[in-house]
Amino acid sequence: MIRRARHGDRGAVCDLWRELDALHAALAPAYFRATARGEHDWRQLLDAPDGAVFVAAPDPGGAVCGAVSVRIYDTPPDPAMVPRRRGHVEMLVVSRAQRRRGLGRALMAEAAAWARAQRAAEIVLTVWAGNADAEAFYARLGYRVLSSVLHTALE
């Protein structure tokens, strides 16, 4: 079951968010740290006028075990860029115990439907290097590499 997140989902979603933050901190410790998200973070995510959060529960009335947040962005004004509205998936997480049951796919479908209703032409997202499970998941959904971000240390 997929539904729009409510304020009362904060505890469950923040637990999932902490799991995702820990994964990102392990993959890219120069960019991320494992942390606890508070009420302010949840309200900011849930109340964003240009975004939506959806949650998954395997059974009606069951515990929340997955979440996706999506936000709408328009191409910045630049004469060299084609004007385009896109949905950006900022977070997708399904609890380890509930993976491989179609919840991630269902959450992504709901995020795409919402973005389409906001007149978005596409969905974009970021997968951090080393997250092979996420890369494989999104590839199964038909996502392809759009760009690569390169970096070098200056220290």
Q: Which domains does the chain have, with CATH numbers?
A: 2-140 (3.40.630.30)
Is the predicted pLDDT of residue 40 greater than 90, yes or no? no
pLDDT digits (tens, 9 = 90+) for 18-33: 889 999 999 999 999 8
pLDDT bin (cut points 50, 70, 90) of residue 145 is: very high
Task: Give the chain's mean pLDDT.
Answer: 92
| Separation between Cα atoms, residue 84 and residue 120, nearest integer Å | 8
| Separation between Cα atoms, residue 39 and residue 50, nearest integer Å | 19
| Separation between Cα atoms, residue 14 and residue 58, nearest integer Å | 18
pLDDT digits (tens, 9 = 90+) for 56-88: 987 777 789 999 999 999 999 999 999 999 999
Q: What is the pTM of this model?
A: 0.91
pLDDT digits (tens, 9 = 90+) for 84-112: 999 999 999 999 888 889 999 999 999 99
Distance of CA 64 to the CA centre of its chain: 15
At residue 41, the pLDDT reads: 86
